[in-house]
Amino acid sequence: MPRRPFLPRLDRYIIRKFLTTFFFMVGIFCVIAVVFDLMENIGRLLSNEAPVWGTVLYYLSFCFHFGNLLSGFIVFLTIIWFTSRLAQQTEIVAMLSSGMSFWRLMRPYFMAATVLVAFSLLVSHFILPKANERKVEFEVQYVHVSFRISDQHMYREIAPGTVAYFRSITVDRNTGYRFQLERWSEDGRLEQRILAAKATWIPEDSTWRLVNARVREIATDGQEKLRYLTRLDTALSMRISDFGQRSALVSTMTTPNLSKHISREAQRGAPVAMLKLEEHGRTAHPFSIYVLTLIGVGISSRKLRGGMGFHLFLAVLIGFLFVFTSKIITVYSASVVLPVDSIISTEQWLLLAAWLPNILFSLLGGWICWKAPK
């Protein structure tokens, strides 16, 4: 008696097409990104005498960073691409007409998605931080010699109860961007928060110049005073170089090291909301592959008049909407100060915020699949 295969032929076909198309698209996107980045930086690499092998390793790390960043979106495009072709050739209609349920059709998609989720979790928690460490080291030495560190969320306690934050810095210009300063009382009450588009150190005056600043002061009775200033010069006991320590870069820390770093920062009173969101996001982001798989199959399984072109348009639209929603929720949740009597803790709120885009778009995906042809 012939041995029955572990997976039916249809499942093997969809899984193979899913994974091969996904990795092919990742390769295409990475090649395009590397070409554009190389065209932009070739002058710096040559003038700074970057080694060939070091450049190859740098762009390999660059591909890990870029591929992981766009993994959910590329999964979406992958599903739309080959499932739309099946739908336009009425193959999906034939499958459903033969008695196969729509949810049975989705099984191989989710089996392939599980492989990608597992791989993405491994990359996000362990492989990508090591790749980022090599990437940052190479950039500092051969690309951005001015030592600009971007999107790394750097914090320092510059005085007892006073914490400063920069999203990115340029050391040789004495300038930091997306600046935030918080002053806390001894009993843990927020007294003042200053937000500014950028902050520049003025050595001649020994002052910091804040541009487009918003100053929020909170009195002991809870009343708040808000001021908006196009320019604010103030004295702060810190230097821009205090934030330029590569050892503090969040993106180069594996998740166990990041958890230890968060504990240390929390113990000395530094705000850790963005760090917590980064930690939770490393798990939530890979699981978005499931969400976008659900939406992608629900959309592309329909045979529409616009064909694959219309499906791809929807894919790009929903993909950008997902990314935009994630960014908005991240920025908003990090700035929210929950009241003392809140029904959830700050830790629970940040965990919810990291997963909220997945939850919202899962509901959208469920509705699309419910409306899909059965």
Q: Which residues pair with 199 in a beta bridge?
A: 176, 210
Q: Is residue 2 part of a domain?
A: no
17 lies in the same domain as 132: yes
Same domain, 141 and 162: no
Q: Write the pLDDT tens digit of every residue in 35-47.
A: 999 999 998 899 8
Give the SS3 label for residue 204.
coil
Cα-Cα-Cα-Cα torsion 269, 270, 273, 274, nearest 10 degrees, comes to -160
Q: Give this prediction's pTM.
A: 0.74
- Is 146's pLDDT higher than 60? no
pLDDT class of 247 with cuts at 50, 70, 90: very low
User: Could you read off the pLDDT of 79-102 as tens digits, one per residue?
Assistant: 988 888 777 777 776 777 777 888
| Shared domain check, 174 and 141 | no
Q: What 8-state DSSP symbol labels residue 5? A: P
Q: What is the rounded CA–CA span in Å between residue 323 and residue 12?
A: 31
Q: Tell me: the pLDDT tens digits for 267-319? A: 766 678 888 999 999 999 999 999 999 998 888 876 666 567 777 788 788 88
Domain count, the chain: 2
Instruction: State both tokens at 321.
Output: 């909407």
| Judgement on whether residues 156 and 139 belong to the same structural domain of the protein | no
C-alpha gyration radius of the chain: 25
Q: Which residues contact 146 (CB under 8 A, 6 or more apart)?
A: 170, 171, 172, 173
Rounded to the nearest 10 degrees, the angle between the axes of helix 346-371 and helix 273-300 is 0
Per DSSP bridges, beta strands 168-170 and 148-149 are antiparallel
pLDDT of residue 174: 81
* Same structural domain, 239 and 307: no
Mean pLDDT score of the chain: 84
Last residue of one domain, picked from the residues 224, 243, 262:
243
The pLDDT of residue 145 is above 60? no
Q: Are residues 38 and 122 in the same domain?
A: yes
For residues 43 and 112, state if they share a domain. yes
Give, for 280, the enclosing helix (H) or strand (E): helix 273-300
By residue range, what is the domain housing residue 196?
A: 152-243
Predicted confidence band at 172 (pLDDT cuts at 50, 70, 90)? low
Q: Same domain, yes or no, for 193 and 311?
A: no
Together in a domain, 131 and 236: no
Confidence category of residue 117, pLDDT binned at 50, 70, 90? very high
Does 96 share its domain with 159? no
Residue-wise pLDDT tens digits, 342-371: 788 888 999 999 999 999 999 999 998 887
Clarify whether residues 28 and 130 are in a common domain: yes
Min mean pLDDT across 207-211, 248-252, 310-314 is at 248-252
In degrees and rounded to multiples of 5, residue 50 shows phi and psi of: -70, 135
Strands 224-234 and 168-170: unpaired
